[in-house]
A and B are shown apart, each in its own frame.
Chain A
Amino acid sequence: MSDLNTRIKEVIIESLELEDITPADIVDSAPIFGKNEKGEGLGLDSIDALELGIAIKDKFGVTFSTVKEETKKHFASVDALAAYIAEHSEG
Protein backbone atom coordinates (compact mmCIF):
# COMPACT_ATOMS: atom_id res chain seq x y z
CA MET A 1 0.00 0.00 0.00
CA SER A 2 2.66 2.49 0.99
CA ASP A 3 4.64 1.51 -2.08
CA LEU A 4 1.63 2.42 -4.21
CA ASN A 5 1.39 5.72 -2.33
CA THR A 6 4.98 6.52 -3.25
CA ARG A 7 4.38 5.66 -6.89
CA ILE A 8 1.33 7.91 -6.95
CA LYS A 9 3.34 10.74 -5.44
CA GLU A 10 6.00 10.24 -8.08
CA VAL A 11 3.36 10.46 -10.81
CA ILE A 12 1.97 13.64 -9.26
CA ILE A 13 5.41 15.23 -9.09
CA GLU A 14 6.42 14.09 -12.55
CA SER A 15 3.23 14.90 -14.42
CA LEU A 16 2.76 18.30 -12.82
CA GLU A 17 6.49 19.05 -12.82
CA LEU A 18 6.43 20.09 -9.19
CA GLU A 19 9.83 21.46 -8.34
CA ASP A 20 11.57 21.13 -4.99
CA ILE A 21 9.03 18.57 -3.81
CA THR A 22 9.93 14.95 -3.05
CA PRO A 23 7.45 12.12 -2.40
CA ALA A 24 8.31 12.45 1.29
CA ASP A 25 7.04 16.03 1.31
CA ILE A 26 3.53 15.00 0.31
CA VAL A 27 1.29 14.07 3.23
CA ASP A 28 -0.70 10.91 2.46
CA SER A 29 -3.92 12.17 3.97
CA ALA A 30 -3.68 15.80 2.85
CA PRO A 31 -5.80 17.15 -0.02
CA ILE A 32 -4.26 17.04 -3.47
CA PHE A 33 -6.36 19.96 -4.65
CA GLY A 34 -6.64 23.05 -2.57
CA LYS A 35 -5.59 22.99 1.06
CA ASN A 36 -7.21 21.79 4.29
CA GLU A 37 -7.73 23.86 7.41
CA LYS A 38 -4.27 22.90 8.69
CA GLY A 39 -2.75 24.46 5.58
CA GLU A 40 -1.68 21.05 4.28
CA GLY A 41 -2.10 20.10 0.65
CA LEU A 42 -0.60 20.70 -2.74
CA GLY A 43 -3.00 23.48 -3.70
CA LEU A 44 -3.47 22.27 -7.25
CA ASP A 45 -6.34 23.58 -9.40
CA SER A 46 -8.96 22.08 -11.68
CA ILE A 47 -6.82 22.25 -14.80
CA ASP A 48 -4.03 20.41 -12.95
CA ALA A 49 -6.64 17.84 -12.01
CA LEU A 50 -7.32 16.98 -15.64
CA GLU A 51 -3.63 16.49 -16.36
CA LEU A 52 -3.10 14.42 -13.26
CA GLY A 53 -6.14 12.30 -14.11
CA ILE A 54 -4.71 11.53 -17.55
CA ALA A 55 -1.29 10.69 -16.05
CA ILE A 56 -2.87 8.38 -13.45
CA LYS A 57 -4.84 6.62 -16.15
CA ASP A 58 -1.73 6.17 -18.30
CA LYS A 59 0.37 4.85 -15.42
CA PHE A 60 -2.13 2.70 -13.57
CA GLY A 61 -4.73 1.87 -16.21
CA VAL A 62 -7.72 3.04 -14.21
CA THR A 63 -10.60 5.12 -15.50
CA PHE A 64 -12.91 7.37 -13.57
CA SER A 65 -16.62 7.76 -13.11
CA THR A 66 -18.57 10.38 -15.01
CA VAL A 67 -20.15 11.36 -11.70
CA LYS A 68 -18.06 14.34 -10.73
CA GLU A 69 -18.63 14.00 -7.00
CA GLU A 70 -17.38 10.44 -6.98
CA THR A 71 -14.27 11.25 -8.96
CA LYS A 72 -13.60 14.17 -6.65
CA LYS A 73 -13.65 11.77 -3.70
CA HIS A 74 -11.00 9.58 -5.30
CA PHE A 75 -8.77 12.59 -5.79
CA ALA A 76 -9.25 13.81 -2.24
CA SER A 77 -5.85 12.62 -1.06
CA VAL A 78 -3.02 10.27 -1.97
CA ASP A 79 -4.54 7.70 0.40
CA ALA A 80 -7.93 7.90 -1.31
CA LEU A 81 -6.34 7.64 -4.74
CA ALA A 82 -4.29 4.62 -3.67
CA ALA A 83 -7.38 2.87 -2.34
CA TYR A 84 -9.20 3.50 -5.62
CA ILE A 85 -6.29 2.35 -7.78
CA ALA A 86 -5.74 -0.79 -5.66
CA GLU A 87 -9.35 -1.72 -6.22
CA HIS A 88 -9.67 -0.88 -9.91
CA SER A 89 -6.26 -1.26 -11.47
CA GLU A 90 -6.00 -3.87 -14.21
CA GLY A 91 -2.76 -5.38 -13.08
Chain B
Amino acid sequence: MPDTNKETSSSTSCSEHWSEIKEVGGGLWHFRFMLWTACHLPLFMVECITAVICFFFWLGARPVRARSKIYLNHLSKVSGKRFGFFSTYKHIFSFALSMMEKLLGWKGAIKLNQIESQNDDLQMLVQQLNQGRGAFLLCSHLGNMEMLRSLTEFGEFHTERDFQVFPVVDLSGTTKFNSLLRELNPDLIDKIVDANSIGVDSAIWMKDKISAGNLVVIAGDRTSANSRNRTIETDFLGESANFPEGAFSLAGILNAPVYFIFVVRKNDFNIRTAYEMHVVRAKTSLDCPRKERPERLKMLLREYAEILERLCVAHPYQWFNFYNFWEG
Protein backbone atom coordinates (compact mmCIF):
# COMPACT_ATOMS: atom_id res chain seq x y z
CA MET B 1 0.00 0.00 0.00
CA PRO B 2 1.33 3.46 -0.77
CA ASP B 3 3.07 5.36 1.97
CA THR B 4 1.38 8.16 3.83
CA ASN B 5 4.37 9.28 5.77
CA LYS B 6 6.29 11.01 3.05
CA GLU B 7 6.80 14.62 3.99
CA THR B 8 7.34 15.78 0.47
CA SER B 9 3.72 16.43 -0.23
CA SER B 10 4.26 19.07 -2.89
CA SER B 11 3.91 18.21 -6.54
CA THR B 12 7.45 16.81 -6.53
CA SER B 13 6.21 13.85 -4.55
CA CYS B 14 4.66 12.51 -7.72
CA SER B 15 7.93 12.02 -9.48
CA GLU B 16 9.25 8.96 -7.68
CA HIS B 17 9.53 5.61 -9.31
CA TRP B 18 7.01 3.27 -7.66
CA SER B 19 9.82 1.21 -6.11
CA GLU B 20 10.88 4.23 -4.05
CA ILE B 21 7.49 4.54 -2.43
CA LYS B 22 7.43 2.67 0.85
CA GLU B 23 4.77 0.29 2.04
CA VAL B 24 2.29 2.05 4.30
CA GLY B 25 3.45 2.58 7.88
CA GLY B 26 2.10 0.75 10.87
CA GLY B 27 2.77 -2.77 11.97
CA LEU B 28 1.79 -6.13 10.71
CA TRP B 29 -1.25 -5.89 12.97
CA HIS B 30 -2.93 -3.60 10.43
CA PHE B 31 -2.89 -6.41 7.97
CA ARG B 32 -3.82 -8.95 10.62
CA PHE B 33 -6.85 -6.88 11.44
CA MET B 34 -7.77 -6.85 7.76
CA LEU B 35 -7.42 -10.61 7.66
CA TRP B 36 -9.53 -11.07 10.78
CA THR B 37 -12.36 -8.96 9.41
CA ALA B 38 -12.15 -10.69 6.04
CA CYS B 39 -12.40 -14.11 7.70
CA HIS B 40 -14.98 -13.47 10.39
CA LEU B 41 -17.34 -10.74 9.30
CA PRO B 42 -19.99 -10.69 6.60
CA LEU B 43 -18.61 -9.13 3.41
CA PHE B 44 -21.01 -6.23 3.70
CA MET B 45 -19.46 -5.27 7.04
CA VAL B 46 -15.97 -5.78 5.64
CA GLU B 47 -16.82 -3.18 3.02
CA CYS B 48 -18.18 -0.76 5.62
CA ILE B 49 -15.13 -1.05 7.86
CA THR B 50 -12.81 -0.70 4.89
CA ALA B 51 -14.71 2.39 3.75
CA VAL B 52 -14.29 4.07 7.13
CA ILE B 53 -10.60 3.23 7.50
CA CYS B 54 -9.95 4.38 3.96
CA PHE B 55 -11.65 7.67 4.63
CA PHE B 56 -9.14 8.53 7.35
CA PHE B 57 -6.27 7.19 5.29
CA TRP B 58 -7.43 9.34 2.39
CA LEU B 59 -7.57 12.46 4.58
CA GLY B 60 -3.99 12.01 5.68
CA ALA B 61 -2.47 10.73 2.50
CA ARG B 62 -1.90 13.76 0.35
CA PRO B 63 0.85 12.23 -1.82
CA VAL B 64 -1.33 9.24 -2.56
CA ARG B 65 -4.23 11.52 -3.46
CA ALA B 66 -1.97 13.46 -5.80
CA ARG B 67 -0.77 10.32 -7.54
CA SER B 68 -4.29 8.98 -7.89
CA LYS B 69 -5.36 12.32 -9.35
CA ILE B 70 -2.71 12.14 -12.08
CA TYR B 71 -4.18 8.86 -13.27
CA LEU B 72 -7.77 10.05 -13.01
CA ASN B 73 -6.96 13.24 -14.93
CA HIS B 74 -5.50 11.21 -17.76
CA LEU B 75 -8.52 8.94 -17.71
CA SER B 76 -10.85 11.93 -17.74
CA LYS B 77 -9.27 13.29 -20.93
CA VAL B 78 -9.77 10.00 -22.74
CA SER B 79 -13.20 9.00 -21.43
CA GLY B 80 -14.74 12.45 -21.11
CA LYS B 81 -15.94 11.45 -17.64
CA ARG B 82 -15.39 14.06 -14.95
CA PHE B 83 -13.89 12.94 -11.68
CA GLY B 84 -14.98 14.97 -8.67
CA PHE B 85 -13.43 15.77 -5.32
CA PHE B 86 -14.09 12.33 -3.82
CA SER B 87 -12.84 10.37 -6.79
CA THR B 88 -9.39 9.86 -5.24
CA TYR B 89 -11.12 8.48 -2.13
CA LYS B 90 -13.07 6.06 -4.33
CA HIS B 91 -9.84 4.99 -5.99
CA ILE B 92 -8.14 4.28 -2.64
CA PHE B 93 -11.24 2.54 -1.29
CA SER B 94 -11.42 0.34 -4.35
CA PHE B 95 -7.74 -0.53 -3.88
CA ALA B 96 -8.28 -1.47 -0.23
CA LEU B 97 -11.15 -3.72 -1.30
CA SER B 98 -8.83 -5.45 -3.72
CA MET B 99 -6.44 -6.19 -0.85
CA MET B 100 -9.34 -7.77 1.00
CA GLU B 101 -10.17 -9.76 -2.09
CA LYS B 102 -6.61 -10.92 -2.31
CA LEU B 103 -6.74 -12.24 1.26
CA LEU B 104 -10.05 -13.96 0.54
CA GLY B 105 -8.61 -15.44 -2.63
CA TRP B 106 -5.53 -16.73 -0.86
CA LYS B 107 -7.56 -18.52 1.73
CA GLY B 108 -9.75 -20.03 -0.96
CA ALA B 109 -12.97 -18.17 -0.25
CA ILE B 110 -13.61 -17.13 -3.84
CA LYS B 111 -15.28 -19.65 -6.09
CA LEU B 112 -15.21 -20.10 -9.83
CA ASN B 113 -18.93 -19.44 -10.19
CA GLN B 114 -18.29 -15.86 -9.09
CA ILE B 115 -16.32 -15.32 -12.26
CA GLU B 116 -18.03 -14.47 -15.51
CA SER B 117 -16.13 -15.24 -18.64
CA GLN B 118 -16.58 -12.98 -21.61
CA ASN B 119 -17.15 -14.06 -25.16
CA ASP B 120 -13.43 -13.99 -25.87
CA ASP B 121 -10.40 -16.26 -26.21
CA LEU B 122 -10.79 -18.08 -22.88
CA GLN B 123 -11.95 -21.23 -24.63
CA MET B 124 -8.85 -21.18 -26.79
CA LEU B 125 -6.69 -21.01 -23.69
CA VAL B 126 -8.60 -23.78 -21.94
CA GLN B 127 -8.32 -25.97 -25.02
CA GLN B 128 -4.62 -25.37 -25.17
CA LEU B 129 -4.23 -26.29 -21.50
CA ASN B 130 -6.25 -29.44 -22.04
CA GLN B 131 -3.81 -30.44 -24.75
CA GLY B 132 -0.97 -30.01 -22.31
CA ARG B 133 0.42 -26.88 -23.88
CA GLY B 134 1.27 -23.98 -21.58
CA ALA B 135 1.17 -20.27 -22.26
CA PHE B 136 2.65 -16.95 -21.28
CA LEU B 137 0.15 -14.54 -19.76
CA LEU B 138 0.47 -10.78 -19.55
CA CYS B 139 -1.68 -9.39 -16.74
CA SER B 140 -1.81 -5.92 -15.20
CA HIS B 141 -2.44 -3.93 -12.07
CA LEU B 142 -6.04 -3.57 -13.12
CA GLY B 143 -8.49 -5.39 -10.87
CA ASN B 144 -7.31 -8.52 -9.16
CA MET B 145 -4.60 -10.27 -11.08
CA GLU B 146 -4.34 -13.09 -8.60
CA MET B 147 -7.85 -14.36 -9.00
CA LEU B 148 -6.91 -16.92 -11.61
CA ARG B 149 -4.09 -18.23 -9.49
CA SER B 150 -6.02 -18.58 -6.28
CA LEU B 151 -8.69 -20.47 -8.17
CA THR B 152 -6.31 -22.99 -9.71
CA GLU B 153 -4.71 -23.54 -6.34
CA PHE B 154 -8.00 -24.68 -4.89
CA GLY B 155 -8.86 -26.98 -7.78
CA GLU B 156 -11.53 -24.63 -8.99
CA PHE B 157 -10.61 -24.55 -12.62
CA HIS B 158 -12.65 -26.46 -15.15
CA THR B 159 -9.93 -27.86 -17.35
CA GLU B 160 -9.51 -31.54 -17.99
CA ARG B 161 -5.86 -31.37 -17.08
CA ASP B 162 -4.41 -29.89 -13.93
CA PHE B 163 -2.04 -27.03 -14.41
CA GLN B 164 -0.17 -24.56 -12.27
CA VAL B 165 0.25 -20.81 -12.44
CA PHE B 166 3.66 -19.29 -11.83
CA PRO B 167 3.58 -15.52 -11.41
CA VAL B 168 6.63 -13.31 -11.89
CA VAL B 169 6.29 -10.67 -9.19
CA ASP B 170 8.39 -7.93 -7.66
CA LEU B 171 7.88 -8.56 -3.96
CA SER B 172 10.30 -5.93 -2.74
CA GLY B 173 7.73 -3.17 -2.08
CA THR B 174 5.23 -5.03 0.11
CA THR B 175 7.16 -7.16 2.58
CA LYS B 176 4.63 -6.90 5.42
CA PHE B 177 1.65 -7.86 3.31
CA ASN B 178 3.66 -10.68 1.79
CA SER B 179 4.59 -12.16 5.14
CA LEU B 180 0.89 -12.39 5.89
CA LEU B 181 0.22 -14.06 2.55
CA ARG B 182 2.96 -16.54 3.33
CA GLU B 183 1.28 -17.50 6.60
CA LEU B 184 -2.02 -17.83 4.82
CA ASN B 185 -0.75 -20.07 2.06
CA PRO B 186 2.97 -20.90 2.00
CA ASP B 187 2.71 -23.09 -1.10
CA LEU B 188 1.25 -20.26 -3.09
CA ILE B 189 3.98 -17.76 -2.32
CA ASP B 190 6.70 -20.29 -3.04
CA LYS B 191 5.49 -20.47 -6.64
CA ILE B 192 6.37 -16.83 -7.17
CA VAL B 193 9.33 -16.07 -9.40
CA ASP B 194 11.13 -13.02 -8.07
CA ALA B 195 11.15 -10.42 -10.83
CA ASN B 196 14.31 -8.90 -9.40
CA SER B 197 16.44 -11.95 -9.95
CA ILE B 198 15.50 -13.33 -13.31
CA GLY B 199 18.52 -15.03 -14.77
CA VAL B 200 19.44 -17.82 -17.08
CA ASP B 201 18.35 -20.42 -14.53
CA SER B 202 14.89 -18.96 -14.01
CA ALA B 203 14.38 -18.39 -17.74
CA ILE B 204 15.11 -22.08 -18.37
CA TRP B 205 12.86 -23.03 -15.46
CA MET B 206 9.97 -20.93 -16.78
CA LYS B 207 10.36 -22.37 -20.26
CA ASP B 208 10.26 -25.90 -18.82
CA LYS B 209 7.13 -25.07 -16.83
CA ILE B 210 5.36 -23.76 -19.93
CA SER B 211 6.43 -26.79 -21.99
CA ALA B 212 4.92 -28.98 -19.28
CA GLY B 213 1.56 -27.28 -19.79
CA ASN B 214 1.58 -24.58 -17.12
CA LEU B 215 1.12 -20.83 -17.14
CA VAL B 216 3.69 -18.14 -16.44
CA VAL B 217 2.16 -14.74 -15.65
CA ILE B 218 3.73 -11.29 -15.50
CA ALA B 219 2.29 -7.80 -15.21
CA GLY B 220 2.99 -5.63 -18.21
CA ASP B 221 2.23 -2.26 -16.65
CA ARG B 222 4.96 -1.64 -14.12
CA THR B 223 8.57 -0.92 -15.02
CA SER B 224 11.23 -2.96 -13.29
CA ALA B 225 12.81 -1.59 -10.14
CA ASN B 226 16.13 -3.05 -11.21
CA SER B 227 16.32 -1.97 -14.80
CA ARG B 228 14.37 1.20 -15.15
CA ASN B 229 16.07 2.10 -18.37
CA ARG B 230 14.79 -1.06 -20.07
CA THR B 231 11.45 0.33 -21.11
CA ILE B 232 9.34 0.58 -24.24
CA GLU B 233 7.13 3.50 -24.89
CA THR B 234 3.59 3.73 -26.11
CA ASP B 235 0.57 5.98 -25.74
CA PHE B 236 -1.54 5.18 -22.73
CA LEU B 237 -4.58 7.24 -21.73
CA GLY B 238 -3.62 10.04 -24.06
CA GLU B 239 0.05 10.45 -23.22
CA SER B 240 3.22 8.54 -23.92
CA ALA B 241 4.21 6.23 -21.06
CA ASN B 242 6.96 3.71 -20.34
CA PHE B 243 6.23 0.01 -20.05
CA PRO B 244 8.65 -2.71 -18.94
CA GLU B 245 10.60 -4.09 -21.85
CA GLY B 246 11.52 -7.21 -19.92
CA ALA B 247 7.94 -8.40 -19.45
CA PHE B 248 7.24 -8.22 -23.17
CA SER B 249 10.65 -9.56 -24.19
CA LEU B 250 10.14 -12.54 -21.94
CA ALA B 251 7.25 -13.56 -24.19
CA GLY B 252 9.71 -13.81 -27.07
CA ILE B 253 12.45 -15.50 -25.06
CA LEU B 254 10.11 -18.17 -23.72
CA ASN B 255 8.68 -18.53 -27.22
CA ALA B 256 5.21 -19.47 -25.98
CA PRO B 257 1.71 -18.42 -27.04
CA VAL B 258 0.87 -15.05 -25.45
CA TYR B 259 -2.46 -14.16 -23.86
CA PHE B 260 -3.58 -10.98 -22.12
CA ILE B 261 -5.60 -11.58 -18.98
CA PHE B 262 -7.58 -9.16 -16.82
CA VAL B 263 -9.91 -9.91 -13.92
CA VAL B 264 -12.02 -7.00 -12.67
CA ARG B 265 -14.82 -6.59 -10.18
CA LYS B 266 -18.06 -5.86 -12.03
CA ASN B 267 -18.86 -3.17 -9.51
CA ASP B 268 -15.86 -1.07 -8.43
CA PHE B 269 -17.03 -0.85 -4.80
CA ASN B 270 -18.69 -4.14 -4.11
CA ILE B 271 -16.76 -7.34 -3.41
CA ARG B 272 -19.95 -9.38 -3.31
CA THR B 273 -20.68 -9.01 -7.00
CA ALA B 274 -19.30 -11.16 -9.78
CA TYR B 275 -15.96 -10.72 -11.50
CA GLU B 276 -15.30 -10.35 -15.16
CA MET B 277 -12.47 -12.33 -16.65
CA HIS B 278 -11.10 -11.07 -19.94
CA VAL B 279 -8.76 -13.32 -21.90
CA VAL B 280 -7.42 -12.17 -25.24
CA ARG B 281 -4.97 -14.05 -27.41
CA ALA B 282 -2.22 -11.74 -28.66
CA LYS B 283 -2.24 -11.32 -32.42
CA THR B 284 1.40 -10.29 -32.62
CA SER B 285 3.80 -13.20 -32.85
CA LEU B 286 7.34 -12.78 -31.58
CA ASP B 287 8.53 -15.78 -33.56
CA CYS B 288 10.48 -13.71 -36.06
CA PRO B 289 14.04 -12.77 -37.00
CA ARG B 290 15.62 -10.86 -34.13
CA LYS B 291 16.01 -7.77 -36.24
CA GLU B 292 12.25 -7.45 -36.40
CA ARG B 293 11.81 -8.06 -32.69
CA PRO B 294 11.79 -4.42 -31.46
CA GLU B 295 9.06 -3.62 -33.96
CA ARG B 296 7.04 -6.69 -32.91
CA LEU B 297 7.45 -5.85 -29.22
CA LYS B 298 5.95 -2.43 -29.94
CA MET B 299 3.01 -4.06 -31.71
CA LEU B 300 2.47 -6.48 -28.83
CA LEU B 301 2.60 -3.62 -26.34
CA ARG B 302 0.16 -1.62 -28.47
CA GLU B 303 -2.34 -4.49 -28.34
CA TYR B 304 -1.93 -4.74 -24.58
CA ALA B 305 -2.20 -1.00 -23.94
CA GLU B 306 -5.36 -0.70 -26.01
CA ILE B 307 -7.16 -3.42 -24.06
CA LEU B 308 -5.92 -2.04 -20.74
CA GLU B 309 -7.08 1.44 -21.68
CA ARG B 310 -10.51 0.20 -22.67
CA LEU B 311 -10.91 -1.66 -19.36
CA CYS B 312 -9.64 1.33 -17.34
CA VAL B 313 -12.33 3.46 -18.94
CA ALA B 314 -14.95 0.83 -18.09
CA HIS B 315 -13.63 0.31 -14.53
CA PRO B 316 -11.99 3.64 -13.68
CA TYR B 317 -11.27 2.90 -10.02
CA GLN B 318 -9.62 -0.48 -10.46
CA TRP B 319 -6.24 0.37 -11.90
CA PHE B 320 -3.86 0.19 -8.96
CA ASN B 321 -0.65 1.88 -9.96
CA PHE B 322 -0.30 4.57 -7.33
CA TYR B 323 2.63 6.41 -8.84
CA ASN B 324 3.01 8.78 -11.74
CA PHE B 325 2.91 6.33 -14.61
CA TRP B 326 3.67 8.97 -17.22
CA GLU B 327 6.79 10.33 -15.55
CA GLY B 328 9.77 9.59 -17.86
A75 within 8 A of B: yes
In the complex, A86 has a CB within 8 A of chain B: no
Q: Which residues of A contact B289 (CB under 8 A)?
A: 17
User: Chain A's nearest CB lies how many Å from the CB of B25?
Assistant: 32
Residue of B201, B246, B291 ringed by the most chain A CB atoms within 10 A:
B201
User: Which A1-35 residues sit within 8 Å CB-CB of chain B?
Assistant: 16-17
Q: Name the residue of chain A whose CB is nearest to the CB of B290.
A: A17
In the complex, the answer to whether B253 meets A46 with C-beta atoms within 8 Å is: no
> Which chain A residue shows the least CB distance to B202?
A66
Total residues of chain A contacting the partner, CB 8 A: 18
A66 to B202: give the CA distance in the assembly, Å: 7
Minimum C-beta distance from B40 to chain A (A): 40
B residues less than 8 Å from A75 (CB atoms): 200
**Does B204 lie at the interface of the complex (its beta carbon under 8 Å from any beta carbon of A)?**
yes
Interface residues on B, range: 10 to 19
| A49 at the binding interface (Cβ < 8 Å) | yes
Does A36 touch B at the CB level, under 8 Å?
no
Assembled-state Cα–Cα distance A75/B199 (Å):
12
Report whether A53 and B204 are in contact in the complex, using a CB–CB cutoff of 8 Å. yes
**Residues of A bordering B, CB below 8 Å:** 16-17, 46-47, 49-54, 57, 63-66, 68, 71, 75
Pairs across A and B, CB under 8 Å, 29 listed = A16-B290, A17-B290, A17-B291, A46-B227, A47-B230, A47-B245, A47-B246, A47-B253, A49-B199, A49-B200, A50-B198, A50-B200, A50-B253, A51-B203, A51-B253, A53-B200, A53-B203, A54-B200, A54-B203, A54-B204, A57-B204, A63-B204, A64-B201, A64-B204, A65-B201, A66-B202, A68-B197, A68-B199, A71-B201
- Chain B interface residues (CB < 8 Å from chain A): 197-204, 207, 227, 230, 245-246, 249-250, 253, 289-291
Q: Supply 19 further A-B pairs (C-beta < 8 A) apart from A47-B246, A71-B199, A71-B200.
A: A47-B230, A50-B200, A50-B250, A50-B253, A51-B203, A53-B199, A53-B201, A53-B204, A54-B200, A54-B203, A54-B204, A63-B204, A64-B199, A64-B200, A64-B201, A65-B201, A66-B201, A66-B202, A68-B199
